[in-house]
Amino acid sequence: MHRKEPTSRVVIKFVIAIIIAAYILFPFALVVINSCKATADITANPIGFNGVSIGQLMQNLNDVINNTNFLFWHAFGYSVLITVLSLILLALFGSMTAWVICRNKTVWATVIYFTFIASMIIPFQVVMLPLISTFRDVGKFIGIPMLQSVPGIVFAYLGFGGAMTVFILTGFIKGIPYDLEEAASIDGCRPEQVFFKVIFPLLTPVITTVTILNGMWIWNDYLLPSMMLGQNGKVKTLPVAVQAFVGSYVKQWNLILTAALLAIIPMVILFLFAQKQIMNGMIEGAVKG
Amino acid sequence: MSEASGSKKLLSLVCLIGGAALLVVSLALDFMGSKAGYRGALLVIGIIGIIVGLYILPTLKYHRTLVYVIFLFPLLFAFAVTVIIPLFLGLFYSFTNWNGIRYTEFVGLANYTRMFRQPSFIWSILLTALFVVFNMILVNLVAFLLALLCTSKLKGMGFFRASYFLPNLIGGIVLGYIWQFIFSNVVTKIFTGMKFSMLSDTKTAFIAIIIVYVWQYAGYIMLIYITGLNTVPGDVLEAANIDGANAMQTLFQIKIPMIAPTITICTFLTLTSAFKQFDVNLSLTNGTGSLMFMGEFLTNGTQMLALNIYNTAVVENEYAFGQAKAFLFFLILACVSILQVRISNSKEVEL
């Protein structure tokens, strides 16, 4: 297909690719190296390997994990719980909503759809302040605390992630032939059975996309949890815990970098296992969204 | 058959009445000022009871509509409470002296006129505009070059692509602190000519934010460009090759025009995300940096709009003022993104 490229150019390109990769991965390497050092060794020489020892890493890990401002396992657990709950509910309710919007040619379905689309441009900053007071009032009214609680923040993610989720899912459901549903109806399926038995299983690829997009956002989100959960609340997500921890330890770089390492590792491990899915999900989300 | 439908009717009535009773009890407790913890549970069980009752009520005629309503309810309810209601409340609050909990008077446009007399806010707007322009150009340029590199057939491209994308997986807060370490401890060690950290001077700190942002975001945009470049059909490239087009000609006259829609998507993404940049700004410099601007000494030299709004409301406790700023922020973002889409679309048509 191509004229064969001269070897010299291939080599140059390869070298450039390696240099860029080194530049991009360099910060990660620094985090790993310096998590294995004491503060004095870091300030003396942040790049070299002197002072690196597994013992020091264990020491740092121990100091960070049990720190009262960080409480790694606590924050990690809450992050996982909040992310997983939000993702499951977003996928379920999102596809239910998208299906109803697709199968109704009425005015209100169109209105709902365009409201969702229009809302995607609203930045979080515009609603974050009244959101807190609204949630406080709603929580008081229904008797379930909505601030500093897991149900509250999952509910908020449901509201904020809803628009994009419905948008991507509607695009997909429109492509599913209606004959399929008619056949199921004729065979005696009720509408909800049609959805759960016929449509929902077909959505697997697009739900994967949506889950990856939402998952990346919710896991790394800082502003919403910091506003809703507070810096020193009982419930904390990982980004909030990192911020609270670093705020309390100025320039203790060995501890700060160890905390960063702990925050990075879960995502990197996930990426190693699901590289292709994550990258494809991010691409599809961008192209459709 | 009739017996089954009879018992079903009974069951649905029991659910309906029980649910309504629980709902009433929980609301009554609410109005009596009870702090009982089980109030919320009663409410939720009551609502579920009513829904189940309605659902098994054998009136097939409305069954489909009912299913639709039940399907729509959870997401629409969450959406209304988290986006729609706060949006309108916020618009209203921005005309009052709201302090985050209550407001006592209606101040008209005072909040809006006040922000244009505040040099630190004007500075934040200008800085954000500058940041957006720099990033749109740099991120797209770097990402496109990386995409070209990754689409040329080299060994190990899967590895390079994944590693270029890696920074995008990590949240801005953590990245900001890692780079704070690099700028203040590592860069000064490598370039021994540098006496001070880049973050201590306003101008270089701004450059530092751009460096971190491009580092984080270019990998993601690169993925989209790669997808775009892969849609350029091979036979077109082959034809160009046979006609004797060199690499530069192929790039500018075939590849770039053919991926115009991708360029639109990427500029839109970089525009909106750079405009809303908050996390890295907070953790890398926290907006600090001193300068003289409009005859005043400012200490928020690297504070971008999103952070300015956050600090006005949460740190300085001026909620109504922060809310008014947020609405201006929204207006600018909406106008700029609509304009950008218009311009790109007209360009695409020309080609």
Q: Do A96 and B164 count as a contact with CB atoms less than 8 A apart? A: no
Q: Are residues B191 and B78 in the same domain?
A: no
Q: Are residues B64 and B165 in the same domain?
A: no
Q: Are residues A99 and A199 in contact, defined by beta-carbon separation less than 8 angstroms?
A: yes
* pLDDT for B59: 66
Q: Which residue has the higher pLDDT, B213 or B46?
A: B213
Q: Are residues B9 and B139 in the same domain?
A: no
SS3 state of residue B96:
strand
Instruction: Among A32-46, A177-191, B35-49, B200-214, name the one with the lowest average pLDDT.
Output: B35-49
pLDDT digits (tens, 9 = 90+) for A134-192: 998 888 877 778 888 899 999 999 999 999 999 999 999 998 988 888 888 888 888 88
Q: Are residues B51 and B149 in the same domain?
A: no
**Residues of chain B contacting residue A16, judged by C-beta atoms under 8 Å apart:** 149
Of A17, A126, A192, the CB nearest to B330: A126
Instruction: Choose the mutation target among A126, A182, A218 for the interface with B, i.e. most B CBs under 10 Å.
Output: A126
Q: List b or e across B155-193, with b for residues whose CB sees 16 or more CB atoms inside 10 angstroms.
A: eebeebbbbbbbbbbbbbbbbbbbbbbbbbbbbbeeeee
Q: Are residues B6 and B128 in the same domain?
A: no
What residue segments make up the domains of chain A, in order of their start?
7-65, 72-248
Please report the residues numbered 75 through 94 in chain A whose beta carbons come closer than 8 angstroms to any beta carbon of chain B. 89, 93-94
Beta bridge partners of B106: B96
* pLDDT for A71: 84
How confident is the model over B71-91, as a mean pLDDT? 93
The answer to whether residue B229 scores a pLDDT higher than 60 is yes
In which residue ranges of chain A is pLDDT below 70? 1-5, 250, 288-289
* pLDDT for B188: 81
**Alpha carbon of residue B189 to chain centroid:** 36
**Residues of chain A contacting residue B84, judged by C-beta atoms under 8 Å apart:** 115, 119
Instruction: Choose the mutation target among B23, B25, B43, B71 for the interface with A, i.e. most A CBs under 10 Å.
Output: B71
Per-residue pLDDT band at B4 (split at 50, 70, 90) = low
| A130 vs A211: CA distance, rounded Å | 28
| B34 vs B24: CA distance, rounded Å | 14
Question: Is A16 in the B-facing interface, judged by CB distances under 8 Å?
Answer: yes
Q: Are residues B337 and B272 in contact, defined by beta-carbon separation less than 8 angstroms?
A: yes
Question: Is A283 in the B-facing interface, judged by CB distances under 8 Å?
Answer: yes
Of A21, A99, A287, the CB nearest to B163: A21
Q: Are residues B28 and B36 in contact, defined by beta-carbon separation less than 8 angstroms?
A: no
* pLDDT for A1: 44
| B292 vs B296: CA distance, rounded Å | 6
How confident is the model over B159-175, as a mean pLDDT? 91
For chain A, give the secondary structure using H, E and C: CCCCCCHHHHHHHHHHHHHHHHHHHHHHHHHHHHCCCCHHHHHHCCCCCCCCCHHHHHHHHHHHHCCCCCCHHHHHHHHHHHHHHHHHHHHHHHHHHHHHHHCCCCHHHHHHHHHHHHHCCCCHHHHHHHHHHHHHHHHHHHCCCCCCCHHHHHHHHHHHHHHHHHHHHHHHHCCCCHHHHHHHHHCCCCHHHHHHHHHHHHCHHHHHHHHHHHHHHHHHCCHHHHHHHCCCCCCCCHHHHHHHHHHHCCCCHHHHHHHHHHHHHHHHHHHHHCHHHHHHHHHHHHHHC
**CA triple B138-B256-A5, angle to 5 deg:** 95
Q: Are residues B309 and B321 in the same domain?
A: yes
Q: Are residues A119 and A195 in contact, defined by beta-carbon separation less than 8 angstroms?
A: no
How confident is the model over B83-92, as a mean pLDDT? 94
Of A2, A158, A191, the CB nearest to B64: A191
Q: Are residues B172 and B81 in the same domain?
A: no
SS3 state of residue B300:
strand
Please report the residues numbered 38 through 67 in chain A whose beta carbons come closer than 8 angstroms to any beta carbon of chain B. 42-43, 45-47
pLDDT digits (tens, 9 = 90+) for B95-126: 999 888 888 888 888 899 998 999 999 999 99
* pLDDT for B37: 67
pLDDT digits (tens, 9 = 90+) for A95-107: 999 999 998 888 9
Q: Do A132 and B174 count as a contact with CB atoms less than 8 A apart? A: no
Range from A273-287, B287-301, B313-327 that averages highest in pLDDT: B313-327
Beta bridge partners of B291: B298
Q: Do A133 and B189 count as a contact with CB atoms less than 8 A apart? A: no
**Residues of chain B contacting residue A27, judged by C-beta atoms under 8 Å apart:** 167, 175, 178-179, 182, 215
SS3 state of residue B291:
strand
* pLDDT for B1: 44
Beta bridge partners of B298: B291
Q: Within 10 Å of residue A143's Cβ, how many Cβ atoms?
A: 21
For residue A156, give how far its alpha carbon lies from the nearest alpha carbon of chain B (Å).
6
Q: List b or e across B135-145, with b for residues whose CB sees 16 or more CB atoms inside 10 angstroms.
A: bbebbbebbbe
| A116 vs A171: CA distance, rounded Å | 13
* pLDDT for A127: 93
How confident is the model over B285-313, as a mean pLDDT? 87
Handedness of CA B8, B13, B14, B20 (dihedral sign): positive
For residue B129, give how far its alpha carbon lies from the nearest alpha carbon of chain A (Å).
16
Q: Do A127 and B146 count as a contact with CB atoms less than 8 A apart? A: no
Q: Which residue has the higher pLDDT, B35 or A67?
A: A67
Q: How many domains does chain B have?
A: 2
- H-helix or E-strand spanning residue B322: helix B319-350
- Which residue, A48, A204, A83, A263, is CA-closest to B177? A263
For residue B169, give how far its alpha carbon lies from the nearest alpha carbon of chain A (Å).
7
**Residues of chain A contacting residue B38, judged by C-beta atoms under 8 Å apart:** 143
Per-residue pLDDT band at B174 (split at 50, 70, 90) = very high
Amino acid identity of residue B44, one-letter, is: V
Mean pLDDT, chain B, rounded, equals: 86
**CA triple A148-A151-A154, angle to 5 deg:** 100
CATH architecture of the domain A72-248 equals Orthogonal Bundle (1.10)
- Which residue, B258, B277, B275, B269, is CA-closest to B220? B269
Please report the residues numbered 142 through 171 in chain A whose beta carbons come closer than 8 angstroms to any beta carbon of chain B. 142-144, 155-156, 158-160, 162-163, 166
**Domain-ending residue, one of B112, B143, B158:** B112
What is the distance in angstroms between the CA of the first residue and the CA of the last residue of chain B?
Answer: 68
Q: Are residues B183 and B54 in the same domain?
A: no
Q: List b or e across A171-194, with b for residues whose CB sees 16 or more CB atoms inside 10 angstroms.
A: ebbeeeeeeebeebeeeebebbeb
- H-helix or E-strand spanning residue B260: helix B260-275
* pLDDT for B55: 77
Q: Do B170 and A271 count as a contact with CB atoms less than 8 A apart? A: no
**Domain-ending residue, one of B112, B138, B171:** B112
How confident is the model over B180-203, as a mean pLDDT? 82
For residue B31, the enclosing domain spans 2-112
Range from A243-252, B176-185, B193-202, B283-292 that averages highest in pLDDT: B176-185
The answer to whether residue B3 scores a pLDDT higher than 70 is no
Q: Which residue has the higher pLDDT, B261 or B26?
A: B261
How confident is the model over B313-327, as a mean pLDDT? 92
| B254 vs B122: CA distance, rounded Å | 43
Exposure of B261 by Cβ count < 10 A (0-12 exposed, 13-18 middle, 19+ buried)? middle
- Output the six-digit token pair for B234: 């091979």
Q: What is the ipTM of this complex?
A: 0.90
How confident is the model over B133-150, as a mean pLDDT? 93
* Helix ranges, B57-84 (H): 60-79
SS3 state of residue B131:
helix
SS3 state of residue B196:
coil
For residue A284, give how far its alpha carbon lies from the nearest alpha carbon of chain B (Å).
9
Locate the chain B residue with the closest alpha carbon to A257.
B178
The answer to whether residue B2 scores a pLDDT higher than 80 is no
Question: Is A20 in the B-facing interface, judged by CB distances under 8 Å?
Answer: yes
Of B170, B185, B309, the CB nearest to A43: B185
Q: Are residues A53 and A33 in contact, defined by beta-carbon separation less than 8 angstroms?
A: no
**Domain-ending residue, one of B91, B112, B133:** B112
Close Cβ partners of B296 (under 8 Å, ≥ 6 residues apart): B119, B120
Q: Are residues B143 and B72 in the same domain?
A: no
* pLDDT for A214: 93
